Amino acid sequence: MLDILMAGGWAMLPILICSAIALAIVLERCWTLRRSAVLPKGLGEEVSNWARAGQLDPAHLQTLADGSPLGELLASALAVRGRPREQIKERIEDTGRHVVHRMERYLNTLGTIALIGPLLGLLGTVVGLIRMFMEVMRGGVGDPMKMAGGIGEALICTASGLVVAIPAYVLHRYFRSKVSGYVVDMEKQATALLDELTVASPAPRARRSPAASAESHAS
């Protein structure tokens, strides 16, 4: 295997670097985007119970926010409880954008590797073919080994670029889809908490003006 990689020429070096980076990203995202780490089971109902019981001190909210992305989203809503519904909803949306951005961390890099992998392989192919033709120009076509070496280098680079790019592209799409599914579930639980906070904290009645009160007594 090492001989094959070395036969691919210098273009194999950036391909191997891309493969190492892609592998590190995949392992890190597999661990970070576990469902139990993003959407702990029963957390939404537990937070709703906290809201009903009034267990919402700042230390409690900080622990909730540090525990998971869903916890951070729900804690942001609890932090502004008692405000109008639109303000709570706006805070949830602002926090949600930051949470989604963190869940999509490194995915752009993985997508870039999926894009440039075939291009690096193509570059190695072109360099190998150029080397082959240069050898032919110097010594003619009498030595088939020189031509075979150039063609082999070209094919190895092409295959290596595709081997790196295809899994990177598939996993990039997989992680994107996984994050989108998490976002839908988080929106459902955040909306349920928003409804709970709105019901628990109804809007205060508008105070009647003294003129209106006097008019009502007079009638």
Residue 74 CA to residue 44 CA, distance in Å, equals: 8
pLDDT of residue 46: 84
pLDDT of residue 142: 57
What is the 8-class DSSP label of residue 203?
A: P
pLDDT of residue 207: 45
pLDDT of residue 93: 92
Is 82:140 a contact under the CB 8 Å cutoff?
no
Rounded to two decimals, what is the model's pTM? 0.79
pLDDT of residue 199: 66
- Other C-beta atoms closer than 10 Å to the C-beta of 172 total 24
pLDDT, tens only, 122-178: 888 887 777 777 777 776 655 666 666 667 777 888 888 999 999 999 999 999 999
Residues 6+ apart with CB under 8 A from 115: 165
Full pLDDT tens readout for the chain, 219 residues: 566 566 666 778 889 999 999 999 999 999 999 999 999 988 888 888 877 776 677 877 888 888 899 999 998 888 888 888 888 899 999 999 999 999 999 999 999 999 999 999 888 888 777 777 777 777 665 566 666 666 777 788 888 899 999 999 999 999 999 999 999 999 999 988 888 887 655 444 444 444 444 444 444
pLDDT of residue 132: 75
pLDDT of residue 52: 76
pLDDT of residue 162: 92
Is 58:177 a contact under the CB 8 Å cutoff?
no
